[in-house]
Amino acid sequence: MTDRFSVDGQTAVITGSSQGIGAVTARQFASEGANVVVTSGSRDRIESVAEEINERDGPDEAIAIECDGRDRAAVEALVDETVAEFCAIDSMIN
């Protein structure tokens, strides 16, 4: 029987994941087998979270994409870059 709540092999974009609850959520999704896009407006922090995930869960599990969610062009670029890297977006956590 499969776990209907499994995120294994799926891609999750997690906004505000440079710190706090967002960073914890990104780490948890990655530990459950998801590809994770760590995103917020703070480039240094998101890179740090993505690097930590990749060191723990294996290379290329997480990528960091800086994005201001108030900027439509930035959000479109986030989607395009995520799809180019992981082929799809299965979940978006805001």
pLDDT at 1 over 60: no
Spatial distance between the Cα atoms of 74 and 53, rounded to a whole number of angstroms: 24
Q: Which helix (H) or strand (E) element contains residue 69?
A: none
**Helices and strands per DSSP (H, E), number in the chain:** 3, 4
- The answer to whether residues 30 and 7 touch, using CB atoms and an 8 Å cutoff, is no
Confidence band for 75, pLDDT divided at 50, 70 and 90: very high
Helix, strand, or coil (residue 55): helix
The predicted-structure confidence for 21-63, as pLDDT tens digits, reads as follows 999 999 999 999 999 999 999 888 999 999 999 999 777 789 9
- The answer to whether residues 9 and 85 touch, using CB atoms and an 8 Å cutoff, is no
Query: What is the reported pLDDT for 2?
Result: 62
End-to-end CA distance of the chain: give it in Å, rounded.
Answer: 30
pTM score, whole prediction: 0.90
